[in-house]
Amino acid sequence: MIQLYIPLGFLGVLYREIKQSLTDLDKMFVLLEKEREIADAPDAQPLALDGPPAVKFESVRFAYEPAREILHGVSFEIPPGKTVAVVGPSGSGKSTLARLLYRFYDVGNQQGTGPHGAGRILINGQDIRDVTQSSVRQAIGIVPQDTVLFNDTIEYNILYGKPDAGHEAAVAAARAAHIHSFIEKLPLGYRTMVGERGLKLSGGEKQRVAIARTLLKNPPIVIFDEATSALDSANERAIQAELKSAARNKTTLVIAHRLSTVVDAHEILVLVNGEIVERGRHAQLVSSGGIYAGMWALQQSGAD
Ligand code: ATP
């Protein structure tokens, strides 16, 4: 009996922990990432912002495990309100850049000699390790590759993070994210239950819900981690339009798998094995005949 009781008790604790965690997206990410590795400095102040900020990575090196460095000194800047896109093979470290900007991990201690790496990430000149983690996350909207939906209505999911915004705001955000007409056609409309126990949405539809959420949150910085799953060209064009509306006047980092998403970017970074091997604007990179030009030619020919 005791033997049975203990695991059940443990499951109860785990269930409560997960349920509680699901009330907070940040905590959910932490759950997925298993551990919270960073803490605020005792004198940390909130990030000071006034409009879309500049985001700067300065010689960022990073290792999840000390023996295996993933980023080997990455430097780039996203000017206020501009978009920088990162492309490159799977495993090259693209999503790691996004995780560092969102402060899932810190890049080492203030001397840059910590176990996890070195360098600095600055938002408007402020080292993100010197300000509170919550203010950094408040300033950033993430549209992840695979959005986790809560077992609740689609409206709840859109309003998540700003529940008081109300129905009209949810509809406006859904319209801008091009998911309103899909929702309208559902028998229960905005009251349709979604998530594991409700209506299952496709990857593209879930990403639109995440875009709607981000539009409502209206953060000055947006990270868009493009879904890897193949989309038909109509869907691809729609997602690009949505991305444009989510990124308007925002400092944006796009992790792209389809190069058509990045043609208008202020700068494109080609990341290979944790190093930027090419950078520039689309036309420049295509004419230089390097890795990016090869990727472009391949995607134009319809091959993956
Ligand atoms: P994809 O295009 O497939 O999403 P990516 O370029 O975004 O790939 P990352 O997710 O940044 O790549 O991963 C870079 C490397 O870091 C990979 O080799 C991956 O195995 C490793 N990695 C990612 N997350 C962790 C982690 N939490 N612990 C240890 N290693 C990790």
Per residue in 286-303, pLDDT (tens digit) is: 999 999 999 999 888 875
State residue 24 phi and psi, 5-degree precision: -140, 115
pLDDT at 91 over 50: yes
Mutate which of 30, 95, 259 for ligand 1 pocket (most atoms within 8 A of beta carbon): 95
Distance (angstroms) between ligand 1 centre and the Cα of 22 equals: 24
For the residues 51-55, what does the mean pLDDT come to? Answer: 94
Does any ligand 1 atom lie closer than 6 A to the CB of residue 90?
A: yes
The candidate with the shortest Cα–Cα distance to 256, out of 235, 238, 273, 239, is 239
Taking the model in full, what pTM does it have?
0.82
Q: Distance between CA atoms of 42 and 131, rounded to whole angstroms?
A: 10
Residue 114 CB-density burial (10 A; 0-12 exposed, 13-18 middle, 19+ buried): middle
Does any ligand 1 atom lie closer than 6 A to the CB of residue 95?
A: yes
Q: Distance between CA atoms of 293 and 133, rounded to whole angstroms?
A: 38
Count CA atoms within 13 Å of residue 108 on its CB side: 22
Q: Distance between CA atoms of 36 and 27, rounded to whole angstroms?
A: 9
Does any ligand 1 atom lie closer than 6 A to the CB of residue 66?
A: no
Rg value, the chain, Cα: 20
pLDDT tens string 215-249: 898 899 999 988 666 556 666 677 777 777 778 88
How many CB atoms neighbour CB 147 within 10 A?
20
Distance (angstroms) between ligand 1 centre and the Cα of 251 equals: 24
pLDDT at 76 over 90: yes
pLDDT tens string 182-225: 999 999 999 999 988 888 888 888 888 988 998 898 899 999 98
